[in-house]
Amino acid sequence: IVYEFGRVLRTIYMKENDPEAPKEAPADSWLGWSRGHFEGDTLVVDSTGFVPYTWFDRAGDYHSDALHVVERYTPASPYHIMYEATIDDPKVFTRPWKVSFPLYRRMEKNIQLVDFNCEEFVEKLLYGPYFKDPSK
């Protein structure tokens, strides 16, 4: 999977007995280590091996190194996919929980996936003299 933000690439190992795919996460990473398979027309992605330094949201909801995520991508129409993720982290949560929402296909002609780099102090770069430093 290629993401627009930060030039991120995510590998999902699809072959059950792929000799080149490690049997478990060789090292923890920001996106975890993912194995996928199909259940009918649904892509199921099972991910573990996440670094414990990331947050779920801007509120600071966190996870531990025990995070286990199962994602389901189900085609709902030619124009959207239903996404569902089951989050399980027994070190942080009392029980697994789910989130789901539709992912919509962009229909514009000549649509491009553009770089959206994570830049330190990007607000100063974008807004120049209009940027208000919160520390002052």
Tens digit of pLDDT at every position of the chain (136 positions): 666 666 677 888 888 777 777 766 666 777 888 999 999 999 999 999 988 888 888 788 899 999 999 999 999 999 899 999 999 999 999 999 999 999 987 777 887 767 666 666 666 666 777 766 666 6
Amino acid at 11: T
Distance CA 39, CA 72 (A): 9
SS3 129: helix
Give the C-alpha distances (Å, rounded to integers) separating 79 from 20, 74, 83, 87, 116.
Answer: 34, 12, 13, 26, 24
> Where are the domains positioned within the chain?
12-130
Single pTM value for the model: 0.76
